[in-house]
Copies of this chain bind each other. A is one copy, B any other.
């Protein structure tokens, strides 16, 4: 249904919390309470993010998690990819398992890939810092229409 998973949603949430107090070390139980999420869930997500290099973890009694990079440098796309793998709307991204049967299909597929890339880029342009910001100022994402007019996107026609 074109949805990110709840884990990813939670992950972004937790990361924006971490971004709010850079340098500080947060423990999993602490974050679980703040976000009113079950501890095992939070723990699972933090583990995944740490494994992917988005979080630094400190073990032991005074341990905890903190961002591995400035919040401005971590994109939403990065987080999504860390938790649920490569971003792509369609199944056949680069695989092409068997025949698609139809010759026309291939043109459809290449167009899908274009859409995939576009969405990936849109998500790559949003940083954690922006997700945490109160969205006051301007629009975060501007896409589509650099020259709208409905179907017109292509009408650009070089």
Q: Is the CB of A137 within 8 A of B121?
A: no
Which of B75, B118, B129, B130 touches A143 (beta carbons < 8 Å)? B118
Q: Is the CB of B101 within 8 A of A35?
A: yes
Q: Is the CB of A72 within 8 A of B151?
A: yes
Q: Is the CB of A90 within 8 A of B4?
A: yes
What 0/1 pattern do residues 1 to 26 of A give for CB contact below 8 A with B? 11111100100110011001000000
Residues of A within 8 A of B (CB): 1-6, 9, 12-13, 16-17, 20, 34-37, 72-73, 75-76, 80, 84-85, 87-91, 99, 101-102, 104-105, 107-108, 110-112, 114-115, 117-119, 121-127, 129-135, 137-148, 150-154, 156-158
